[in-house]
Chain A
Amino acid sequence: MRDFCELIVSVGEGGGIYALAALAYLLVLRPTGIVNFAIGELATLGAFVGVAALAWAKLPYMVGLPLVVFTVGLISLLTERLTVHRLIARNAPVLSPVLVLLAMLTIYRQAGASIFGTANLFSPPPFGFSRIAIGPFAGASQSFLIIAVTAVVFAAAWLFFERTIWGKAFEAIAIDRFAAALMGINLSVAIMLSFAAGGAVAGLAGLLQSPLTSASYLMGFPIAIKGFTALMIGGVGRVEGALVGALLLSLTEKLVLRYAPIPASYALAVPFLLLILFLILKPRGLLAAGEVRE
């Protein structure tokens, strides 16, 4: 029982990071149809900005966290304005912005490596490396912080999409972009804000993970893969889908690693087998937008 409760905290922590990455994809994908493959590298930039703010400049966490979110959000916004926006304005094929963002992936990574180096950097956790127990559920203080922040971010995202006029505007763009434009919704501003929001959430994921693994210029790729996998499992239609998919992915991973009587190397493949299974059985994911609206 002790192991299982500890594992649940681990599931929440891993699921939190995957969920934030999945949400970062979703925020861009829904209004634009563009898969932003640079999400992982934006998370890495978030980790690096966190190192600079918290470890080097020794800013308080309550200052450093918003600074990271703002900085990475701004980088993503500027990327959109300088590259994606121009392609959309010129009616470029759908694949063009995707390819540009793939190129930005390399640019972000090399920029990060050039500025911060290729060696891992210490990223200080706000509550130290202490262990917390809430009833039978015990884990690192950073794990509980990740769970709490993820819950807040998803609650905010849900409220935004379900209860605000801008959220409805994003939803309208996702359903029919041209109709939304005809209704007076400013597509350009909406897309710009979606990139900013996606970048900000990705940066937050990187900042939260880096105290556990240290900040590294190669940390973005696994975050990108797991986030995308979580999104495919949960479905691209709803914010809740990103969270459900991420938790399911994390749960499967951790349960297999802990309990499955198979060699460790095979256990690593199980989440991806799960993805294949989901794509075959439920190609629109667990919570497809169409099903929810019915």
Chain B
Amino acid sequence: MNFRSVLVNALVAGAFGFAAFGASAESVKVGIITDHTGDAADYTKLVEKGVALALKEVNEAGGVLGTPLELVWENDENKPPLSATKAHKLVDAGVPLIVQLSASPAVLQAESVTLETKTPHLAPNQSGDTLTTKLDNPYFFQMGPLGSIQIKTLMAFARSKYKRVALVTDNSGLGILIKDTFKAGLQQAGIEIVSETIIETGSTDAVPQLQRLRASNPEAVFQASVTTSEMALFFRGYRQLGLNYPVLGSFNLSLPIYLELLPGMLDGVYFVDVYDPDKPETKAFIAKYEKEFHEPPYSLPAYGYDAIRLVADVIKRAGSTDKEKIREAFASTRDFHTVIGAKGTTVSFSAQDRRGFPQNGAVVRVIENNKHGPVVFAGF
């Protein structure tokens, strides 16, 4: 147990007035695999804030099955082999359900364990397109927004506006993957890619790449980078060279870190997101989150918040902590209202399709006045 786990449990203790760990009363324990010390830690710690808020809310409302909901934390350092080990540990500890916040490769490894042990397994924030298909695991449910859905929305937005675009990314594995996904989407949409450049990890600037982009004279730039330093290099260089093509980015630009590192340099940039501040569920979430944490939320905490609310709802509908009943309750989830997703969309699962994020759930937003601004396009 580390500081962040203690924080979450302390919030629960505040709701019940006794120590959440080492509690004498019974509780429904749900396993949660996350990354506290690996390369996804910066991401998961933000998701966990939403987890903490939802857990507090659930327990203030009476918990599940008349008892508090308690989380049993395991740190997989975002490493797939360790993820499987931690899943085993949680199953051996008797948890009827595992929520996992670490990245898609780690989730896939843990899936082999949840399949073998017939343990319901929820991935609330991962966008890997093949998590429910690579391994046919009827106990695995993915609520995260699929990369393909996000790209489809961004391409639908771009198709009506641009015919010739430039493509930029970094040389991380995820950056290349997103670039390839963008490329496939652009080609399918009939949009010509006039230049493709990569900003290498550790570069001191992006001037050669930006000059190459400038020479290709695109109508817009698709930015697929995911590493913070290289994204910073791109936008600083972009503004330095006085370039003004529209820029369209992946979900990565929905992270507030870029607004801090690049003040005023991102205005007018479009990015795909799964969070609409104008959605009623989101407005309610924003009010609660700001009251708890004194800062505005965005998509990452919302994933965690939706995850725990869904878990509580599923266990209530299952009426017990029996794994099969929980699995059936997951598979019969219909129109569950979430913070994540475009206005008017909800999450549903079935036994045949365990991907809950709606096809029309992604949105395109624009950055204005150094803030993540309104939705300009939704669905596809």
Q: Which residues of A contact B (CB under 8 A)?
A: 3, 6-7, 9-10, 13-14, 17, 118-120, 122, 129, 131, 139-140, 143, 209, 212-214, 216, 219, 221-223, 225-226, 253-255, 257-258, 263-265, 267-268
Contact = CB atoms under 8 A, between A and B. Distances in A.
Interface of B: 41-42, 171, 176, 196-198, 200-205, 207-209, 211-212, 215, 228-230, 232-233, 236-237, 239-242, 257, 260-261, 265
A219 B240 CA distance: 22
A40 to B, nearest CB: 9
Given A7-B211, A120-B229, A14 B204 contact: yes
A155 to B, nearest CB: 21
Q: Rank and list the top 3 A-B pairs by shortest CB-CB distance, nearest first.
A: A222-B202, A257-B208, A258-B208
Contacts of A10: 205, 207-208
9 contacts: A3-B211, A6-B241, A140-B205, A212-B204, A222-B202, A264-B196, A264-B209, A265-B198, A267-B198
Contacts of A209: 204
Nearest to A130: B240
Contacts of B239: 129
Given A3-B211, A119-B257, A219 B202 contact: yes
Contacts of B211: 3, 6-7, 258
A13 B204 CA distance: 8
A268 B204 contact: no
A13 B42 contact: no
Contact of B261 (A17, A122, A221, A225): A122
Contact of B202 (A118, A225, A255): A225
A225 B204 CA distance: 13
A212 B205 contact: yes
A216 B203 CA distance: 13
A219 to B, nearest CB: 7
B207 A6 contact: yes
Contacts of A7: 207-208, 211
Contacts of B197: 257, 264
B229 A257 contact: no
A219 B208 contact: no
A214 B261 contact: yes
A222 B201 contact: yes
Contacts of B232: 120, 212-214
B42 A139 contact: no
Given A7-B211, A122-B260, A265-B171, A212 B236 contact: yes
Given A129-B236, A254-B207, 15 more contacts: A7-B207, A7-B211, A10-B207, A14-B204, A17-B204, A119-B42, A120-B229, A140-B236, A212-B205, A213-B232, A214-B232, A219-B202, A222-B200, A257-B197, A267-B198
A252 B41 CA distance: 36
Given A120-B229, A120-B232, A129 B200 contact: no
A140 B240 contact: yes
A221 B202 contact: yes
A58 to B, nearest CB: 16
Contacts of A9: 207
Given A13-B204, A223-B202, A129 B240 contact: yes
A100 B228 CA distance: 31
Nearest to B260: A122
Given A6-B211, A268-B200, A214 B228 contact: yes
Contacts of B233: 212-213
A51 B221 CA distance: 31
A66 B185 CA distance: 50
B261 A257 contact: no
Contacts of B241: 6
A137 B196 CA distance: 26
B231 to A, nearest CB: 9
Given A6-B211, A129-B239, A131-B240, A219 B198 contact: no
A14 B205 contact: yes
Contacts of B209: 257-258, 264
A265 to B, nearest CB: 6
Contact of B205 (A122, A143, A268): A143
Contacts of B205: 10, 13-14, 140, 143, 212
A213 B197 CA distance: 18
Contact of B196 (A14, A214, A254, A263): A263
A14 B207 CA distance: 11
A216 B229 contact: yes
Nearest to A120: B228
Scoring A17, A119, A263, A264 by chain B CB atoms within 10 A of each residue's CB, the highest score goes to A264
Scoring B205, B215, B228, B236 by chain A CB atoms within 10 A of each residue's CB, the highest score goes to B205
Given A254-B208, A258-B211, A213 B229 contact: yes
A275 B335 CA distance: 59
Nearest to A15: B204
Contacts of B208: 7, 10, 253-255, 257-258
A264 B179 CA distance: 12
B151 to A, nearest CB: 20
Contacts of B200: 222, 268
A10 B205 CA distance: 7
B230 to A, nearest CB: 8
B240 A258 contact: no
Contact of B198 (A143, A221, A264): A264
A7 to B, nearest CB: 6
Contacts of B198: 264-265, 267-268
A75 to B, nearest CB: 22
Contacts of B260: 122
A214 B215 contact: no
A6 B241 CA distance: 9
A212 B203 CA distance: 10
